Structure formats: structure tokens, C-alpha cells
């Protein structure tokens, strides 16, 4: 059960108003609390009424704590996620990094998700996504920047360069594999001409 701050505030105000009007016991709440006051003759009517109100307020506070303990997470006026954990459309539009509602980033979980999915964005928007996500997930952003820097992008100049093509696709760690790749790209380039 989710409840917003406004709803909880309204409930508390209604309960306090009922206490003030004296109709609290009509609903049967608070009757199970034993009367801990000393003999009624010893206290004035005002003191009795104040003690009664204190007991009722304690009951309300206890009930509110139970409600809050049952809720999933802190009270929010405008929840950013649904009960299932999905991002709401309002949140998506408010915190979008790219376009009207794409890659919303507002906490660590959303930042890490945006970093993981940045490959679906155009090349120009990837830096925007990483930069905004760095505020909430700096380590993940650092790794993403390194991964993007290491990702070899073949430019038009390197399109026919066998060494650039093989460095990008195979890497230079395995010399034999690298040399095989270079030779096959050279052979393909000869066939094109």
C-alpha cells in the first residue's frame, strides 16, 4: 500500500479533528487501550480530558508508524516509480536526458540503466547520457567513458586501412590472429580494385 505525504497529512488532520470533537470513540478505536489514570476523583475534568487526548494521540502515532512501516520506502508527494518499479511517464518527461522522454536520470538505479542502454542512443547523445549519469553513479560513468574511448571507431580514412580495421575488430593482443586479419583485409582490398 502506497500513500503520499498529502494523503497521510489529510488522514492525521481528520483524526485530530475527530479527537477534538469527541467523536473518536464512536468508531471504536482506542477502546482496547486500558485506562491507566489514577482514581477519577483525584483529577479535575480538564486534566482527565488532557490525559484522554494524550492517550488517543499516542494511539494515532502508533497506527501511523505501523502504516509507514508497511509502506515500501519513504513517503513521496509525487512518486517517481510505479509499484512494480517502473518509471512513471511524468518522471520520464521531467528527467529526460535525450528527447522528450528518453533516458530519464534521477537516481543511481536510473543512471546505471541509462549507462547500460546508451548504445541505443545516437553517437552524439552518448556523452550527454554519461555526463548526467555521473552525478548519481560516478564509477559506472567512469567505466562507460573508458569503454567508449577504447571502442575503436573506424573513420572513412581508415575504411581501407587493414591495420586500423584489424586493430578495431581483433585487437593487437594475439599477434598471429592480428596478422591473419591484416593479410585477409589486404587480399579483400586487392579484389575490390
* pLDDT of res. 129: 92
**pLDDT of 160 strictly over 60:** yes
Average of per-residue pLDDT across 49-76: 73
3-state secondary structure 119-176: HHCCHHHHHHHHHHHCCCCHHHHHHHHHHHHHCCCCCCHHHHCHHHHHHHHCCCCCHH
Please determine, for residue 75, whether its predicted confidence score (pLDDT) is greater than 80.
no
38 band by pLDDT with thresholds 50, 70 and 90: low
Q: What is the mean pLDDT of residues 14-33?
A: 59
- C-alpha dihedral over 4, 9, 14, 19, to 10 degrees? 130
- State the pLDDT at residue 77: 54
pLDDT at 120: 84
Phi first, then psi, for residue 122 (nearest 5°) are -60, 155
* pTM value surpassing 0.85: no
Instruction: Enumerate residues 6+ apart whose C-beta is below 8 A from 92.
Output: 101, 104
- Between CA 52 and CA 56, with CA 53 as vertex, the angle to 5 degrees is 90
Residues in contact with 110: Cβ distance below 8 Å, sequence separation at least 6, in sequence order: 87, 95, 104, 136
Mean pLDDT of the chain: 77
Rounded CA separation 111/97 (Å): 10
Q: pLDDT of 118-152, one tens digit each? A: 888 887 788 889 999 999 999 999 998 888 877 65
Residue with cell 502508533: 62
Average pLDDT over residues 164-172: 81
3-class DSSP assignment, residue 111: helix
Alpha-carbon distances, residue 3 vs 7, 8, 78, 111 (angstroms) = 6, 7, 10, 26
Q: Are 79 and 86 in contact (CB under 8 A)?
A: no
Does pLDDT of 157 surpass 70?
A: no
Closest CA to 172 of 148, 143, 150, 146: 150
Listed in sequence order, the DSSP H helices in 22-72 are 45-70
Judged by average pLDDT, the poorest of 61-70, 81-90, 138-147 is 61-70
Residue 3 has pLDDT above 80, yes or no: no
Task: Say how many Å lie between the first and final Cα of the chain, rounded.
Answer: 70
pLDDT at 23 over 60: no
Q: What does the domain layout of the chain look like in residue ranges?
A: 5-70, 89-150, 157-192
Q: Does 107 have pLDDT greater than 80?
A: yes
Which of these ranges, 33-42, 154-163, 175-184, has the smallest mean pLDDT?
33-42
Amino acid at each position: 500500500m502506497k500513500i503520499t505525504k498529502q494523503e497521510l497529512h489529510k488522514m492525521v488532520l481528520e483524526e485530530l479533528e475527530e479527537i477534538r470533537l469527541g467523536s473518536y470513540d464512536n468508531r471504536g478505536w482506542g477502546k482496547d487501550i486500558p485506562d491507566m489514570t489514577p482514581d477519577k476523583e483525584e483529577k479535575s475534568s480538564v486534566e482527565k480530558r488532557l490525559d484522554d487526548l494524550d492517550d488517543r494521540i499516542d494511539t494515532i502515532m502508533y497506527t501511523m508508524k505501523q502504516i509507514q512501516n508497511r509502506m515500501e520506502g519513504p513517503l513521496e508527494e509525487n512518486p517517481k516509480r510505479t509499484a512494480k518499479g517502473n518509471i512513471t511517464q511524468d518522471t520520464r518527461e521531467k528527467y529526460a536526458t535525450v528527447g522528450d522522454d528518453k533516458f530519464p536520470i534521477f537516481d543511481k538505479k536510473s543512471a546505471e540503466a541509462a549507462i547500460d542502454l546508451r548504445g541505443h542512443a545516437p553517437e552524439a547523445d552518448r556523452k550527454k547520457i554519461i555526463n548526467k549519469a555521473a552525478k548519481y553513479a560516478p564509477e559506472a560513468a567512469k567505466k562507460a567513458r573508458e569503454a567508449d574511448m577504447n571502442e575503436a571507431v573506424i573513420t572513412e580514412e581508415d575504411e581501407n586501412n587493414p591495420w586500423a580495421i584489424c586493430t578495431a575488430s581483433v585487437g593487437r593482443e594475439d599477434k598471429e590472429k592480428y596478422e591473419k586479419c591484416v593479410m585477409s583485409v589486404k587480399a579483400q582490398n586487392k579484389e575490390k580494385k
